[in-house]
Structure 1
Amino acid sequence: MRHAHEDAELRALVRRYVTPERRYLKLGGSVLRLDGPEYDRFVRALGEDAGLVTPHEIDTLLEGGWRERRTAAWLIAVSGRTEFRERLGELLLASEVCCVGPAYCVALARLGTPRDAELLAVYLDRYLRRPDLGYDQPVVMGALVFTGLNLGADHAAPFRAPGGLWHEWLEAAPHVRPGTDPAGYVSLIRRLCAFADECAGPR
Structure 2
Amino acid sequence: LPDFFDWRDRNVVTPVKAQGQCGSCWAFASTATVEAAYAIAHGERRNLSEQTLLDCDLVDNACDGGDEDKAFRYIHRNGLAYAVDLPYVAHRQNGCAVTDNWNTTRIKAAYFLHHDEDSIINWLVNFGPVNIGMSVIQPMRAYKGGVFTPSEYACKNEVIGLHALLITGYGTSEKGEKYWIVKNSWGNTWGVEHGYIYFAR
Q: Do both share a fold (TM > 0.5)?
A: no
Place the TM-score, normalised by the shorter chain, in its bin.
Answer: under 0.3
Structure (1 or 2) with the greater strand fraction: 2
* TM-score normalized by the length of structure 2: 0.24
Structure (1 or 2) with the greater helix fraction: 1
Q: Which has the higher contact order (CA 8 A, sep 6+)?
A: 2
* TM-score normalized by the length of structure 1: 0.24
